[in-house]
Amino acid sequence: MGRGSGIALIGILCCVLSVPAVGAEESVQALTSQAMEECQKGRLAKDADSRGVHFDRGRALAEKAVALDNQSADAQFSLFCNIGERMRANGEVFFSVFDYGRMMDALDQTLILNPNHLDALSSKGTILIEVPEFLGGDDAKGEVMLRQVIKEEPTSINARMVVARQCADRGEHQEAYELSKRALELAKQQQREDLIPEAEKTFSEIQAHLMDR
């Protein structure tokens, strides 16, 4: 279970009239929501072409939201989500340096704007663990962030899986088993079809290690 290849201002100027500002804010929220919906649809899509269409559409919506208000943490995260998932759909091989930088900038901006954004913390922690040290990886820092997510969000799935694999790599098999078992239970309870396969694989591998001891 080694380290993966890894690849997770003021806004609109104040206007004299309040109505345009409210309308702009509603537009940012709507665009962000639509962008996240596209990201989720892409995760659930069965074929590569459909996934790419959803992620590209989601990125376009997110870019519009960020252009309207780059102080929106959720808009920044929706941009990170769609770029990151698009890269993963491509096998994390065929991507440009610009796209990678844009993705990481959106994630970092999310956490600057909202340090307690749990989805962003989970993504950042995962990236810190999965990327090599020479690309900025930091296992210890990443795990601290993921454990914070687990503590503050009891239904977190991804954070549990990643920490479980870290524990398994250190030989902490019992904690790895408990974390991965709970992650699979939560994935099934929440009917997360996009996460169940990975949760099953993680639990199966850790369970096998525990039985081989």
Query: Given a cut of 70, is residue 44 above it in pLDDT?
Result: yes
Query: Given a cut of 60, is residue 87 above it in pLDDT?
Result: yes
* % of the chain surpassing 70 pLDDT: 84
User: Residue 137 and residue 200: Cα distance in Å, rounded?
Assistant: 26
Give the HSE-up count for residue 148: Cα atoms under 13 Å, Cβ half-sphere. Answer: 18
Q: What is the pLDDT of residues 117-148, one digit of tens each?
A: 999 999 999 999 998 898 889 999 999 999 99
89: confidence class by pLDDT, cuts 50, 70, 90: confident
Ordered structural domains, the chain, with CATH: 17-114 (1.20.120)
Residue pair 35/54 in contact by the 8 Å Cβ criterion: no
Nearest to 74 by CA among 85, 82, 149: 82
Handedness of CA 77, 154, 201, 195 (dihedral sign): negative
Handedness of CA 48, 118, 145, 187 (dihedral sign): negative
Query: Given a cut of 50, is residue 204 above it in pLDDT?
Result: yes
Angle (CA) 126-190-59 rounded to 5° is 55
User: Residue 63 and residue 82: Cα distance in Å, rounded?
Assistant: 10
DSSP string, 101-162: HHHHHHHHHHHHH-TT-HHHHHHHHHHHHHS-GGGT--HHHHHHHHHHHHHH-TT-SHHHHH
